[in-house]
Structure 1
Amino acid sequence: MTQNYGELTYPEIAGQSEALQGAWEQLGKQQEFITNYLGNKKYEEVVFIGSGTSYYLALSAASTFRKWTGRSASAYPSSEIYLFSEQAVAGNKNKLLVGISRSGESSEVILALDSVKGKPEWTTCGITCDVESTMAKNVPCLVSPLGKEKSTVMTKSFSSMTFMLQVAIAKAGGQQGYVAELQQVMSLSADTVTRGQVEAKNMIDTHSELNKFIYLGMGTYNGLAHEACLKLKEMSCVWTESFGTLEFRHGPKSVIEPGTMVCVLLSESARAFELKVAEEMQAYGAYVVLITAEKGEDTSFADLVFEVGGSSLSDEARAVLYMPLVQYIGYYTALREGRNPDSPRNLTQVVKI
């Protein structure tokens, strides 16, 4: 390994359990935000926006919001609201716009929030990791205090903001059962981080033939699959794609051949269907990785099964437990390719336009 490669990214992936705890504690001080915004039923549509990783976080947040509150929610890239808001969201609805940005400085998020300012049908708020950021000064924000990062690539910031939004959504919906589930997730997190590092390193070190990487997920895990793909692409510049698990069978599976890793973020809700897809891909020559709550006879065919625990928890609550393994896969693939995960090609920590 080239000296100093990954010196920022590695401890940030490793530090996400502490970041979850920090988000939990901070949220205890921000109940007024939950009451005024996410829990306020006057909003007929809650619109989550972000760019890049933050957009994938928005996808998962909107999915969780719909399931846990029974209310309408959607997710869009920030630019869609800034440039195409009338095509994205019906104009006659009373809407809450939730901006998501690690730095709070992403131009597209700020432009989107500013673009609806003063319009009576829109209210704005956000979530960030920087309390001193432009976004945090412009709109009321949840703040993940330990999510801030030095590396270009988002890792613990993604996990901590995902977790923080989930706790806020559970509280907004009066779902104390989900709040309790998320408290259990905190207790499982450190172990998944530790084991994720070991499993990812071993897989990349012992399978140099892997040159295509595909991530599949459904429901709340669809956004996670896209984020897993982006982590690998950003850090290592290898060929990678992401799809809905069953959608992958409708054409894209033609790319499968020996040397392809297919990682399925396995839900309990659709477990049997998703495992059929995984078995089919293995038959075509794929190296199959399953991330799941619990191993079983039905997963024994896979090349690697990574258990996160929490089989009694909802799929949505387990979301952040799926991230350490895929983040470390991106990290170790970058090192294998001779690339520095801290400084991806062509990228900066804050994207401005």
Structure 2
Amino acid sequence: MNMSLGKLTISEISAQSAALSAAVEQLQLQGDWVERYLKAEQFDEVIFIGSGSSYYQALTMASTYRNWLGRSATALPSSELYLFRGQNTAANRNYLVVGVSRSGESTEVILALESVRNLPQYTICGITCYEQSTMARLAECLVSPLGKEESTVMTKSFSSMTFMMQAAIASAAEHSGLQAELDAVVEADADVVKRADVFIQSLVQKEQLHKYIYLGMGAYFGIAQEACLKIKEMSYVWTESYGTLEFRHGPKSVVEPGTLVCVLLSEQARAYELKVAQEMQEYGAYVLVVTAEAGEDTAFADGVFEVGGKQLSDEARTVLYLPALQYLGYYTALGKGVDPDSPRNLTQVVKI
């Protein structure tokens, strides 16, 4: 591996624990945002919108919102709300639209928010890492202060923004147990980041892999999508992501020796997801399980990375799964002699 490559990327992956802590402190200063938007009862549905990685974290935000608040929410690519609003929303409903954008400058997010901000049934707000961005001037935004990045590929910004929105949702729920879970995540994150670095670097050095499949359900489906994008952006490898059980319905035909199948294991559907993992191993896949805790039921797997926190909800553990997945993209890129700081064809902000 050429360790001189990707210095920005690895420094930002390694710094996400501090970014989570800063997000918690910032949210305390923006409690009025939670009151105005997430606690408000006039909204029939919340729509989280984003593009690329921001859409994938929107999926997890929406899943968390539904489960923790028991209210309707969905996630859409920004372009779907902007160009196909009638196909994605219903008349005579009141919507809160939450724009999700690291830079706050993504053209599609801005266009989508501008397209609905003057419509009577829509209210807009957002979450970003840049308080002076176009989106932050357009709509009131939560700001992850240490989520700012120099690298093109999102890592700590994704973790900190996802976590900050979950913390906002927990605050809106007024559930002390949820807030305690997120405190435990902040406390655990630094150790998880360090262990993930060592674990993934060793895996990449030992294994010869040429296909990468990421599987997740519930709050982890968006994370599986993001993991797929991370390794694709950084190292240009062939990769896909699916809902864990959905992968059995046709897509599993691509599995062969040299295929990594990474299962983001939930506790809610653990037994079912592990059956899928075992089946993929029988087809020749190298099976990596990312889980709260290993057990006899995961002993078959070729690799198991434990994040801890089995007592936590699947939603709360979400950001603890991210370091291993980000490092997998990073070290795979180094192994191929590719610089993850300068991904081909990509820019930090996508504009039309």
Interval containing the TM-score (normalised by the shorter chain): over 0.9
CA RMSD of aligned residues (A): 0.7
Aligned to 1:212: 211
Instruction: In structure 2, give the amino acid aligned to 1:79.
Output: S
The 10-residue stretch of structure 1 (2-11 or 270-279) with the greater mean CA deviation from structure 2: 2-11
Instruction: In structure 2, give the amino acid aligned to 1:243.
Output: Y
**Is the partner of 1:163 in helix, strand or coil?**
helix
**Is the partner of 2:127 in helix, strand or coil?**
strand
The aligned runs of 1:149-160 (5 Å cut-off) are 149-160=149-160
**Is the partner of 1:213 in helix, strand or coil?**
strand
**Is the partner of 1:310 in helix, strand or coil?**
coil
Shift of 1:58: 0.5
The aligned runs of 1:1-353 (5 Å cut-off) are 1-2=1-2, 4-207=4-207, 209-353=208-352
- Per-residue CA deviation, residues 301-338 of structure 1 (Å, 9 max, x unaligned), is 00110000000000000000000001000000011111
Instruction: In structure 2, give the amino acid aligned to 1:291.
Output: V
- Quick one: distance in 2 between partners of 1:274 and 1:50? 28
Instruction: In structure 2, give the amino acid aligned to 1:135.
Output: M
Aligned length: 352
- Per-residue CA deviation, residues 21-73 of structure 1 (Å, 9 max, x unaligned), is 00000000111000000111111100000000000000000001000000000
**Is the partner of 1:8 in helix, strand or coil?**
helix
Shift of 1:3: 6.7
- Quick one: distance in 1 between partners of 2:350 and 2:79? 12
**Is the partner of 2:309 in helix, strand or coil?**
coil
**Is the partner of 1:28 in helix, strand or coil?**
helix
Instruction: In structure 2, give the amino acid aligned to 1:232.
Output: I
- Quick one: distance in 1 between partners of 2:172 and 2:346? 36
- Quick one: distance in 1 between partners of 2:340 and 2:311? 35
Instruction: In structure 2, give the amino acid aligned to 1:62.
Output: A
Shift of 1:4: 3.8
**Is the partner of 2:7 in helix, strand or coil?**
coil
Structure 2: tracts of 5 or more residues without a match: none
Instruction: In structure 2, give the amino acid aligned to 1:126.
Output: G
Identity across the alignment (%)? 65
Instruction: In structure 2, give the amino acid aligned to 1:87.
Output: Q
Structure 1: tracts of 5 or more residues without a match: none
Q: Give the TM-score, by structure 2 length.
A: 0.99
- Quick one: distance in 2 between partners of 1:54 and 1:305? 27
- Quick one: distance in 1 between partners of 2:19 and 2:48? 22
**Is the partner of 2:260 in helix, strand or coil?**
strand
The 10-residue stretch of structure 1 (165-174 or 213-222) with the greater mean CA deviation from structure 2: 165-174
Shift of 1:2: 4.4
Give structure 1 regions of 4+ aligned residues with deviation exceeding 6 angstroms.
none
